Amino acid sequence: MSIVPEFIVRFYHKTASPPYFYSLSNKLLPWLTAIFLILLGYGLYGGLYLAPTDYQQGDSYRIIYVHVPAAWMSLFIYVVMAIAGGISLIWRMKIADVVLISSAPIGASFTFIALVTGSFWGKPMWGTWWVWDARLTSELILLFLYLGVISLYGAIEDKRTASKAVAILALVGVVNIPIIHYSVQWWNTLHQGPTVTKMDKPSIHLDMLIPLLVMATAFKFYYAIAMLQVAKVEILMREQNTQWVKKLLEDK
């Protein structure tokens, strides 16, 4: 008898099988897309229209509704990749490799968005597009980590070796995550301190906070959608010589 309940083991093996993961993705995608669009619509309406103008920053602060959720996603996706990397190294689960490598371009995109929108916010507020302060620099390193994962995977011919290398890189790079998060507290930065994730009470008005949280949730759904789309291609390429892919082609 194993200590893990039977149904969890069964679920694990089922999801771990590429054809099941592929068809599950197809079933989930329309729902994820619908929920994403509803959340996005409300988040944008709330953030760009309903939320009041900031008394210090005017309407420039509305960049927050893409900047902060994108920055959160850039950290979140990296942690997902590191966990997937760990699972892949310990249990050699194929789908974990697929999730890891399919997440990389989306994580890189969110990091890029966080940096660019930060720049467009910094210019009118700080008077500069870029400063080499701890928050900005560690986020830039995160972008290089994502790009490193993508190019390392592309550079190694054998996909099993490539997956292993990328899993190790993802795990090693995870030390950068707490550095980014705490950078505004550890160092004296131009970037403002936390307003939402403060332990006591967020120092942001509720009408401003709600759209921010809605946008953050919308971005989570977006990540699931984009990751599954990339994962489907990755699975098809890896499994192109198998019976189920041949059958998929015949059924088309």
User: Which three-class secondary structure string do you get for the chain?
Assistant: CCCCCHHHHHHHHHHCCHHHHHHHHHHHHHHHHHHHHHHHHHHHHHHHHHCCCECCCEHHHHHHHHHHHHHHHHHHHHHHHHHHHHHHHHHCCHHHHHHHHHHHHHHHHHHHHHHHHHHHHHHHHHCCCCCCCHHHHHHHHHHHHHHHHHHHHHHCCCHHHHHHHHHHHHHHHCCHHHHHHHHHHHCCCCCCCCCCCCCCCCCCCHHHHHHHHHHHHHHHHHHHHHHHHHHHHHHHHHCCCCHHHHHHHHHC
Residues 49-78 that bind other proteins (CB under 8 A): 49, 53, 58-60, 62-63, 66-67, 70
What residues numbered 181-240 form the site for other proteins, per CB under 8 A? 222, 225-226, 229-230, 232-233, 236-237, 240
Token pair of 158, please? 């054998």
CB of 200 to other proteins, least distance (A): 30
Question: From the CB of 226, what's the least distance to other proteins, in Å?
Answer: 5
Spatial distance between the Cα atoms of 208 and 93, rounded to a whole number of angstroms? 42
Please tell me whether residue 252 binds other proteins under the rule CB under 8 A.
yes
Q: How far is the CB of 249 from other proteins (least distance, A)?
A: 5
How near is the Cβ of 245 to other proteins at its closest, in Å? 7
Minimum CB separation of residue 19 from other proteins in Å reads: 15
2/56 with CB nearer other proteins: 56
Applying CB under 8 A, the span of 8-16, 75-83, 198-206, 243-251 interacting with other proteins comes to 243-251
- Position among 20, 112, 182, 187 found at the interface with other proteins (CB under 8 A): 112
The residue range among 86-94, 103-111, 130-138, 142-150 that interacts with other proteins, by the rule CB under 8 A, is 103-111
Q: Which amino acid is at 126?
A: W
Among 113, 142, 180, 216, binds other proteins (CB under 8 A): 113
Report residue 6 as tokens.
Answer: 């039977």
Instruction: Please identify, using beta-carbon distances, which residue of 168 and 190 lies nearer to other proteins.
Output: 190
Of the residues 10, 14, 123, 198, which one makes contact with other proteins according to CB under 8 A: 123
Torsion of the alpha carbons at 22, 23, 26 and 28, rounded to the nearest 10: -100
Q: Using CB under 8 A, list all residues that contact other proteins.
A: 48-49, 53, 58-60, 62-63, 66-67, 70, 105-106, 109, 112-113, 116-117, 120-121, 123-124, 222, 225-226, 229-230, 232-233, 236-237, 240, 245-246, 249, 252
